[in-house]
Chain A
Amino acid sequence: MSELKSNIPEGPLADKWTNHKNNIRLVNPANKRLIDVIVVGTGLAGGSAAATLAELGYNVKAFCFQDSPRRAHSIAAQGGINAAKNYQGDGDSVYRLFYDTIKGGDYRSREANVYRLAEVSANIIDQCVAQGVPFAREYGGLLDNRSFGGVQVSRTFYAKGQTGQQLLLGAYSAMSRQIGRGKIKMYNRHEMLDIVKIDGKARGIIARDLITGEIERHSAHAVVIATGGYGNVFFLSTNAMGSNVTAAWKVHKRGAHFANPCFTQIHPTCIPVSGDHQSKLTLMSESLRNDGRIWVPGKKEDAEAIRNGKLKPTDIKEEDRDYYLERRYPAFGNLVPRDVASRAAKERCDAGYGVNKTGEAVYLDFSSAIMRYGKEKAITEGLGNISESKIKELGKKVVEAKYGNLFQMYEKIVDQNPYETPMMIYPAVHYTMGGLWVDYNLMTTIPGCYAAGEANFSDHGANRLGASALMQGLADGYFVLPYTIGDYLADDIRTGPISTDLPEFEQVENEVKDRLNKLINNKGTHTVDYFHKKLGKIMWDKVGMARNERGLKEAIEEIKALRKEFWENVLVPGDLNEFNPELEKAGRVADFMELGELMALDALERNESCGGHFREESQSEEGEAMRKDDIYAYVSSWEFNGDASGFSLHKENLNFENVELKTRSYK
């Protein structure tokens, strides 16, 4: 394999994207009609890409495994979307957003990509407002902003706690318009199971109609993978039940590099696990950290009493509480980036200060916010001296207006009233920064195969800042990919339709069918979930929030053994030719079993702590993460060499010409 070419344009950082756009080739409107593009996944990245490509005139075939594009898991994003609009006049700028993102990512992302992201962020807001996305507004009619973890300006646009939903519905409505015009052919309840290459170029996919079970061939001149992240490798995560790595993994196995697979974001504010029956974890928006204070009891005996039900959190006096984030990181306090907050919670719980039955929970407390807002409200309403309970009443209303739906969600799940008693939270797997390696044009190492959104590795380095995922997904789909793909497709204007009768299609289809038949005919003794849970436990214990050499080596061996057992012993009911959710799951878990190994391998190789990746061998005396820029300032890009020989590592060195690499300090 040749050297990785990132294709970053020449010139000063701020001009790169503009220069690039001015110089890449275009496809004229008449020729766009002759070109087909497959988009797999219809979340923010896939949905916006499909809509925009169709608007430009390409024939788009879009695929999603849900019954509607609107159900992609982008819909669950709560907090908001960043944009360098500086509407609040608090000193924000494109450069500052770029700087915060690259610093937040612990200097493991490309300067040029991140700068472009910051540059187009403002356009995203304009575009979404034009589409009718109902962002939160001030009484004056202008857009409202809030601040989010890890930054010191208010640049986050939001729609209550449902920003992802509103943005996705915006992209979905743009898609709907193109579906109505016939420019997007929508394949709902279809799952991509492999990619087809012809002469080395991506020319189509093999997909399964999930209703009939039929295996179908679809051809195109380019394939876009926008299938999200792979957090479900941990079994428990905040991802949707169906979120999976299959499309990305198949592409990887056909030659696309997989970059930084070990970079996983563990989100600090999720509802803790309640028992073995748990099927998924629920996120409580990071925006809650704007007003909630995180604490555990300062005394171990108090923590123990709480765990045993002898004390209630409200019984603990103010001076006996340890607001550990405020204590350790006075400058950022509760608003430190996610990786820092998560590790700090784990540190306290491991030390014996956890507050639920399992000892794996900390408090997120709104009582001071309620009083603070109550007092403000009393002043603005000119109520003078009023009682404490009245102030509390007023404050609750303010908090309800801001976070009402989140509080309600918490109450439904935990059966406790968070207005009266602090919420319990614990970190959970949330987002994967790693993904398919892409160049500046978002093309993978397979020509004609693109990756967008969470499915690629590009913009977040080793840690993603809050409200940046929505920004990246839409930036890729609306503003980057539709430009850059033209440069590649300009060669295809005379190619004509790609036939699905070519032997390459037949061969891949047969491989897909063989694999599915193998799963169905195995008739083992354990269900798919049994294996998935086992895999998840290995991943969480040994490739989770803190990793070390011994654990990672064990994990690799354990995953290999589990994978072997899976293929010998998995039990998949039903038939190939019917609606069969267990078969779908089996295929996805089989791919997770392979990915898990690569994640451990990548984590083992990277003997430094950066962002979400924490190697116990690489920490300061106070337990803070230590980066090793002289050795590891590169992107780990893994190539698959076949089932027998495993993976080989390629390094894309990261050159920082515009920012100085500093130790991330939030103290």
Chain B
Amino acid sequence: MNLTLKIWRQKNTTSQGKMVEYKVNNISEDMSFLEMMDILNEELIVKGDDPIAFDHDCREGICGMCSLYINGEAHGPDRGITTCQLHMRKFKDGDTIYIEPWRAKAFPVIKDLVVDRTSFERIMASGGFISVNTSGNTQDANNIPIPKDDADEAFDAATCIGCGACVATCKNSSAMLFVSAKVSQLALLPQGKLERERRVLNMVDQMDKEGFGNCTNTGACEVECPKGISLSNIARMNREYLRASLVKKD
């Protein structure tokens, strides 16, 4: 199939960007979306143009590196997948496809379609962990039985890949789904309960400092999340936060 692409080009963080039109021909429907981008880039390089920079790595939907806003939707029109898992069979011959980077103040553009997501890193460093040192002498793993339902729910929250689609798709650029997934995972497990107050207060505080917008419960993040992280995690984070705010001593 032949396609028209409108792609955001921006030299670096400080420069102005704009949408630029490209044509690609003879695209097979078995290709992945990023393989189509590879073909475009090969053509651009041979022509002497600057290839389009985009983030990608594992190309199997788990590393969370890829991050394109395709035709008005995070990770494109398909559901439950990342951009690298999107295949060209989802498009038709002659289609025009808009390709843009994640848009958020907290995710400045580095180049073209590549954004800086280190705001997520700082949120994680503010409390996204259980404070245990490596010793090899923690108690036996089976000493703390965990109800299967809790373990499964914690797992579901823990499957977040930190891609940022939730922020990209939220009309307010809110990071609540990302933060709540980690807060939820650790709050659901007995190991994580000991520092639940500190964790949620610190992580929310850092999230606010990074310049993300607030959550207005539109639910768009849950729909676009490639891993189907549930909105119930945000509710749990709200509860955790309320609880922590009420019981903390200082």
Per the bound structure, the CA–CA distance linking A334 and B35 in Å amounts to 33
Contacts of A71 in B (CB 8 A): 57-58, 63-65, 162
Chain B window 23-34, contacts with chain A (Cβ cutoff 8 Å), 1 for yes, 0 for no:
000001011101
**Residue B174 CB within 8 A of the other chain:** no
Q: Are B42 and A409 in contact (CB under 8 A)?
A: no
> Interface code A562-574, partner B: CB below 8 Å = 1, 0 otherwise?
0000000001011
Given contacts A75-B63, A130-B191, A573-B45, contact A166 B124 (CB under 8 A): no
Nearest residue (CB) in A for B46 is A527
| Per-position binary interface string of chain B over residues 158-198, scored 1 when its CB falls under 8 Å from any chain A CB and 0 otherwise | 11011000000000000000000000011001011000000
B134: CB under 8 A from chain A? Answer: yes
B35 touches A278 (CB 8 A): yes
Do A177 and B125 touch (CB < 8 A)?
A: yes
Q: Which of B92-100, B108-116, B210-218, B241-249 contacts A (4 or more CB under 8 A)?
A: B108-116
Considering the chains assembled together, what is the distance between the CA atoms of A627 and B192 in angstroms?
50
Asked if B38 CB lies within 8 Å of chain A CBs, one says yes
Contact with B along A335-376 (1 / 0, CB 8 A): 000000000000000000000000000000000000000000
Name, among A71, A120, A529, the residue most crowded by chain B CB atoms within 10 Å (CB to CB): A71
CA distance A159 to B65 in the complex (A): 21
Contact A76 B131 (CB under 8 A): no
Q: Which of A214-222, A279-287, A507-515 lies at the binding interface?
A: A279-287
Q: In the assembled complex, which residues on chain A have CB atoms less than 8 Å from the CB atom of B39?
A: 277
Question: In the complex, what's the smallest C-beta–C-beta distance from A230 to chain B, in angstroms?
Answer: 16
Contact B45 A582 (CB under 8 A): yes
Interface SS of chain B: loop
A131 touches B191 (CB 8 A): yes
Q: Does B22 reach chain A (CB closer than 8 Å)?
A: no
CB proximity to B under 8 Å, residues A446-492: 478-479, 482
Which residues of chain B come closer than 8 Å to A173, judged between CB atoms?
A: 124, 128-130
What 9 A-B pairs are tightest by C-beta distance, nearest first? A141-B145, A180-B125, A173-B129, A134-B155, A123-B136, A130-B138, A129-B141, A177-B129, A176-B124
A interface with B by C-beta (< 8 Å) = 48, 51-52, 55, 66-68, 70-73, 75-76, 85, 87, 120, 123, 125-132, 134-143, 159-160, 162, 165-166, 169, 172-174, 176-177, 179-180, 186, 188, 211, 238, 240-242, 274-275, 277-280, 282-283, 408-409, 412-413, 415, 478-479, 482, 525, 527, 529-530, 571, 573-574, 578-579, 581-582
Which residues on B are within 8 Å of A, measured CB to CB? 11-12, 28, 30-32, 34-35, 38-39, 42, 44-46, 48-51, 53, 55-65, 78, 80-81, 85, 87, 89, 110-111, 114, 116-118, 120-121, 124-136, 138-142, 144-148, 151-152, 154-155, 158-159, 161-162, 185-186, 189, 191-192
Can you give 11 A-B contacts (C-beta < 8 A)?
A: A71-B57, A72-B63, A126-B136, A134-B152, A137-B147, A142-B142, A176-B121, A188-B118, A527-B42, A529-B42, A573-B50
Q: A141-B146, A277-B38 are in contact. List 6 more A-B contacts (CB 8 A).
A: A68-B121, A68-B162, A71-B58, A126-B136, A176-B124, A578-B12
